[in-house]
Amino acid sequence: MTDYTYPSVYFSYFLFALLAGGAVFFFIRSLKDGYLGPHSEEPKYRMFIDEPEEDETQQSTGAGAPRRKQ
């Protein structure tokens, strides 16, 4: 009779260490890249800024959603 407890326990500890190490790695990387800094919300607000108007030939082709005039 063979005891299979140790291989499964070692595998689960290895998997937990691998996942926890990956989470710590990406957390530190996001801190270094500035994703969690004081200016981290700027891309969200930049998305709401209106883009310059396209010329009429591109709008008349029907590609994409129609743009509203303000």
Digit-coded pLDDT (tens) for 5-52? 888 899 999 999 999 999 999 999 988 887 777 777 777 777 777 766
Q: Which of 48, 49, 53, 58 is nearest to 68 (CA)?
A: 53
The CA-CA-CA angle for residues 58, 47, 65, to 5°, reads 30
- Taking 60 as the threshold, does the pLDDT of residue 61 lie above it? no
State the pLDDT at residue 57.
53
State the pLDDT at residue 44.
75
Distance between CA atoms of residues 36 and 14, nearest Å: 29
Kindly report whether the global pTM for this prediction surpasses the value 0.85.
no
Identify whether the C-beta of residue 42 lies closer than 8 Å to the C-beta of residue 49: no
User: Residue 23 CB: number of other CB atoms within 10 A?
Assistant: 10
State the pLDDT at residue 30.
87
